[in-house]
Amino acid sequence: MKSPVTLFWFRRDLRLHDNAGFNFALRSENPVVPLFIFDTEILQALKDKRDKRVEFIHKTLVEMQKKLHDWGSFLLVKHGVPIDVWHQLVAEYNIAKVYTNNDYESYAMSRDEEVRRFLESRNIEFHSFCDQVISEKNDVLKPNGEPYTVFTPYKNAWKKKLVSTQAHTAAYPIKTFRTNFYKGSPLPMPTLKEINFEPSGASFPDTNVDDNTIVDYHRQRDIPGIQGTTRLGVHLRFGTVSVRDLVKRAIHLNETWLDELIWREFFKMILYFFPHVENRSFRAKYDNLAWRNKKEEFDRWRVGTTGYPMVDAGMRELNETGFMHNRLRMITAGFLTKHLLIDWRWGERYFAEKLLDYDLSANNGNWQWAAGTGCDAAPYFRIFNPTTQMQKFDPDLNYIKKWLPEFGTSKYPEPIVEHKFARGRAIETFAAARE
């Protein structure tokens, strides 16, 4: 009879160090087989077969595989529908326990529940842990037990809880438990081509962020023409960095940066308690907004030809690199929803296709914030003027010139709509929906 093993299932936690579920798996009495599944349910929905995110995942797995080989083990990489893969794994291994880390999106939770039921029907234990956030689900609630729907009181409660339970930022080392890996010869990993994708040629930001970038974050974060942010979004999205490490650095270096990490957890909590936001406005009255939804205007926004330089430069950068500066995310999202009165879901879906750091809860929360339909939204009458935003945050046109070489020539288009007119139209439209 085969010896019993424990499987650890990597998903949004693609690192070997300071990984909660992985640490607990290695503490179990059985040798651990590390596992990753390229989920065809997710991959088949991706239109671009040069998707940068898939390449990022594959690149990361190759690096993890090399490290595991150094330790005499391997990473088991499968490709298929998760429940089908688990049927195969149960036939292949004598699995005693399965460990993983929690995920909070609707698809992930239903997938995990299906796998849990299947494994438990075979008397296999399924254990899942908090790892991609500091506080999850019911960890930070109002005194009456209800979820917060406004960020500032949530942030204050989050920080108070962190101070009272410093264990939340304790690391999960693996050095002590390396002997508990399942030993075996290196296994082949499917290539990008074998999972029906191709290299994109993209470059990805480093995980090593200088302390000075964090120290100066509150002074530089709104200036898109400089490297004033950490660009760790993609690493947080796929768990190639530990949020515990980042929070500890933020506590010592910059509270504004810590607040940004808390925004991420706030939006995850909102999605968990109010799953309707995935497809509808948080505030139901705004489901009746009279969106104009002009496709030709959406297409001009999408490719960066609106005639508003900050909007166009942001969209060009997104399309080319998969990255967009946070200030530009607010400007481009606000322009689409307020100036053009195009449904925030159109823009949210487009960002979901393009952003390297796409995360459902953050993308949804930020789009609804910009549109004025969300839980902690900017008031509907707060409408960014893209021209004054450019004058304030890119006065020397460093960012504009980089992404809009035709700016200042006859080739650059006239504005798609006049700001004052668009602002008035948006205020009237939103006010009507509130009645």
Q: Look at residue 341 and tell me whether its pLDDT is greater than 70.
A: yes
**10 and 84 together in one domain:** yes
C-beta atoms surrounding 382 within 10 Å? 11
Tell me the C-alpha distance between 338 and 370, whole Å. Answer: 9
Known catalytic residue at 344 = yes
Determine contact, residues 101/13, Cβ cutoff 8 Å: yes
Determine contact, residues 265/162, Cβ cutoff 8 Å: no
**259 and 368 together in one domain:** no
Q: Is residue 199 part of a domain?
A: no
Tell me the C-alpha distance between 36 and 34, whole Å. Answer: 7
**163 and 40 together in one domain:** no
* End residue of a domain, out of 220, 246, 273: 273
Q: Point out the catalytic residue in the list 86, 158, 301, 344.
A: 344
Predicted confidence at residue 1, as pLDDT, reads 62
Q: What is the CATH number of the domain that holds 63?
A: 3.40.50.620
Q: What is the mean pLDDT of residues 185-209?
A: 92
Q: Is residue 203 part of a domain?
A: no
Q: Is residue 202 part of a domain?
A: no
Predicted confidence at residue 167, as pLDDT, reads 58
**251 and 384 together in one domain:** no
Q: Point out the catalytic residue in the list 260, 278, 319, 353.
A: 260
Residue 399 CB contacts under 8 Å (≥ 6 apart), including other chains: 224, 225, 310, 313, 325
Q: Point out the catalytic residue in the list 30, 196, 319, 326.
A: 326
Known catalytic residue at 257 = no
Known catalytic residue at 369 = no
**84 and 162 together in one domain:** no
**331 and 376 together in one domain:** yes
Query: 173 pLDDT band (50/70/90 cuts)?
Result: confident
Known catalytic residue at 398 = no
Q: Is residue 173 part of a domain?
A: no
DSSP state of 179: G
Q: H/E/C letters for each residue in 21-33?
A: HHHHHHHCCCCEE
Query: 177 pLDDT band (50/70/90 cuts)?
Result: confident
Q: Look at residue 178 and tell me whether its pLDDT is greater than 80.
A: no
Q: Is residue 180 part of a domain?
A: no
**321 and 266 together in one domain:** no
Query: 9 pLDDT band (50/70/90 cuts)?
Result: very high
Known catalytic residue at 326 = yes
**426 and 283 together in one domain:** yes
**127 and 9 together in one domain:** yes
Q: List phi, psi (to 5°) of 86.
A: -65, -35
**295 and 411 together in one domain:** yes
Q: Is residue 183 part of a domain?
A: no
Enumerate the β-bridge partners of residue 78. Answer: 37
Enumerate the β-bridge partners of residue 127. Answer: 99
**74 and 104 together in one domain:** yes
Determine contact, residues 340/383, Cβ cutoff 8 Å: no
The burial of 314, by beta-carbon neighbours within 10 Å (0-12 exposed, 13-18 middle, 19 or more buried), is given as buried
Q: Is residue 414 part of a domain?
A: yes
Token look-up 């298929």 returns 80
Q: pLDDT digits over 250-307, tens only? A: 999 999 999 999 999 999 999 999 999 999 999 998 998 999 999 999 999 999 999 9
Residue ranges making up the domain that contains 224: 134-168+209-273
* End residue of a domain, out of 88, 114, 132: 132
Q: SS3 for 313?
A: helix
Q: Looking at this protein, which amino acid is placed at residue 82? A: P
Whole-structure pTM value: 0.95
Q: What is the mean pLDDT of residues 120-145?
A: 96
Q: Point out the catalytic residue in the list 86, 257, 263, 346.
A: 263
Q: Look at residue 185 and tell me whether its pLDDT is greater than 90.
A: no
Query: 379 pLDDT band (50/70/90 cuts)?
Result: confident
* End residue of a domain, out of 82, 113, 132: 132
End-to-end CA distance of the chain: 70
Q: How many structural domains comprise the chain?
A: 3
**312 and 266 together in one domain:** no
Q: What is the CATH number of the domain that holds 240?
A: 1.25.40.80
Known catalytic residue at 71 = no
Determine contact, residues 224/329, Cβ cutoff 8 Å: no
Q: Is residue 198 part of a domain?
A: no
